[in-house]
Amino acid sequence: MAAPDPQQAADPAAVKRHPALFRAIRKRQNPRLRRTDITVTDDAAVKRAVKAASLGNAMEWFDFGIYSYLAVTIGHVFFPSGNDTTQLLSSFATFAVAFLVRPLGGMFFGPMGDKVGRKKVLALTMILMAVGTFAIGLIPSHDTIGVWAAVLLIFFRMLQGFSTGGEYGGASTFIAEYAPDKRRGFFGSFLEFGTLAGYVGAAGLVTALYALLNDAQMEAWGWRIPFLVAGPLGLVGLYLRLRLDETPAFQKLEGGTAHASEAADGVEATAKGDLAKIFRQYWPTLILCICLVGAYNITDYMLLSYMPTYLSDELGYSETHGLLILLAVMVFLMMLIAQVGKLSDRFGRKPLLMAGMLGFLFLSLPAFLLIRIDGILPITVGMLLLGLSLVCMLGTMSAALPALFPTNVRYGSLSVGYNLSASIFGGTTPLVITALISWTGSNLMPAYYAMAAALVGVIAVACMKETAQQPLIGSPPSVETDEEAAELVQAQAPDPKF
């Protein structure tokens, strides 16, 4: 955090009596930047870090996404036969279980990332996710081992959730600390590009299985294939993660040769991941982060995870029908997301985030009214309205969230705030919406739920500070060229006095 202004802390009368003394104190606490204080990024290293973090993230979300798209089948396999809604609620409750342990994963992996390194933690989360997903594919059905099938499913879902607790905070911190200030939105958008790519891979594989196999084959063995694919994919993800270079700041802590700037030394050296300190000193920012992520996650999971189930279970379409439309929408969003990141660098994070929140607030109801109309065109248009609102957040959030916290607590704070919110709001979204539809009998409940979340998001965005094109808190400026660094130094040189 920035040092307190001595004029605000001291007696105003004392400041008036000793102006030169307080000017000297202020200059000492906030010295002018020297050329050696400014980080000049290595373009090849930045792209390598972004590529590896994003590809690893895609692997993680492939593993996590396949459960969402197989929710109906999993309900039939692992829970006793009976009411279809009860089976679906049981399946989504198991989906939500993974999110209940995510905050624990965030509290465990976040501080660890500050102590042993981003690279090692991201590799560990990859291993745990792959093991959890692969193991689900091996669990016998309820007909074979009874209630133990559901118990094992819940256990491995919890392992998935625990590993995911260290994923987003680590990957977004990694990219944010590498990227130059003026392009952080662009590079950060590739993290969510990876998320969409993972979902597209999962949806594509599940769609192919539904098209090739009948219901009996899917419930007997077909559902296992996407989970078993996670094994070799996990090895690929692990390889990519282990090839990552640590951020210059962490290499400096280890006594490496990276050229972390002197201006950041004091901050980086205190990166101990103190959870008590996070909750004690940064609780207002944590609350802001939780509100932003809550609004974002409810709308995200509603569209990317729950929508195929909504189309098949509530509106009577086949599983393949809903997944194909969602696949087309997600591929379209992948084409736009990097451009949204560029726009956030140019116009700011707040305008893009506000556009997304207002989009869900005003377009959710018209979108779901269109989705209820029989026909591919109105369903696609309705989902595109939701998708265009979502991509404004997807392309911006991964650059906006890391900038909320200072460098010394960034990984831990973001992991805790993000996963607390994802646990309370994100993972429960399919369960809550299914329950609301069951209780009210209205299949417009997803629209109302999204609108309520967006209203909270609008207030949160209004309260946050603009961080585009600015250095991360607690870190020196980061630029792409030596010329930019020289311009920064020159810009704060005092004007000559004649």
- pLDDT attached to residue 350: 96
Of the pLDDT bands very low, low, confident and very high (cuts 50, 70, 90), residue 441 is confident
Distances (CA, A) of 75 to 1, 84, 86, 87, 203: 48, 8, 9, 5, 18
pLDDT in tens, 170-221: 888 888 888 888 899 999 999 999 989 988 888 888 888 988 888 888 888 9
pLDDT at 347: 94
Closest CA to 168 of 350, 400, 391: 400
What pLDDT does 259 receive? 41
- Distance in angstroms (rounded) separating the CA atoms of residues 199 and 197: 5
57 vs 86: which has the higher pLDDT: 57
pLDDT average, residue stretch 286-300: 92
CB 200, CB 334: distance < 8 Å: yes
Q: What confidence score (pLDDT) does residue 27 get? A: 54
- pLDDT of 442 > 60? The answer is yes
Which DSSP category does 479 fall into?
E
Mean pLDDT of 281-301: 90
Q: Is the per-residue pLDDT at 83 higher than 70?
A: no
| Both tokens assigned to 101 | 């342990």
pLDDT band at 18 (very low <50, low <70, confident <90, very high): low
Mean local confidence (pLDDT), 94-98? 75
The residues near 253 (Cβ < 8 Å, ≥ 6 apart) are 268, 269, 271
Q: What pLDDT score does 213 carry?
A: 87
Residue 250 is predicted with a pLDDT of 61
Cβ-contact 57, 191 below 8 angstroms: yes
User: How does residue 365 score in pLDDT terms, banded at 50, 70 and 90?
Assistant: very high
> CB atoms < 10 A from the CB of 335, how many?
12
Gap between the Cα atoms of 226 and 68, Å rounded: 12
End-to-end Cα distance, the chain = 37
Name the band, by pLDDT with cuts 50, 70 and 90, for residue 11.
low
Q: Tell me, yes or no, if the pTM score tops 0.75.
A: yes
Contacts of 175 (CB under 8 A, 6+ apart): 49, 50, 53, 54, 187, 188, 190, 191, 398
List phi, psi (to 5°) of 479.
-125, 170
* The two structure tokens encoding residue 187: 């590079």
Rounded Cα distance between 65 and 326, Å, is 13
Above 60 in pLDDT, residue 9?
no
pLDDT at 84: 66
- Condensed to tens digits (0 to 9), the pLDDT of residues 307-364 reads 877 888 777 777 677 778 888 888 999 999 999 999 999 999 999 999 999 999 999 9
318-332, 364-378, 433-447: range with lowest mean pLDDT: 318-332
Distance CA 108, CA 114 (A): 11
Please tell me which residue, 130 or 475, carries the higher pLDDT value: 130
Nearest Cα residue to 215 out of 73, 24, 419 = 73
- Averaged over 259-284, what is the pLDDT? 56
Which has the higher per-residue pLDDT, 490 or 440?
440
Q: What is the structure's pLDDT at 82?
A: 64
pLDDT of residue 242: 76
Distance, in Å, from the CA atom of 47 to the CA atom of 12, rounded to the nearest integer, reads 50
Rounded (5°) CA angle 481-482-487: 100
Higher pLDDT, 94 or 335: 335
- The pLDDT assigned to 269 comes to 39
Mean per-residue pLDDT over the chain, rounded = 80
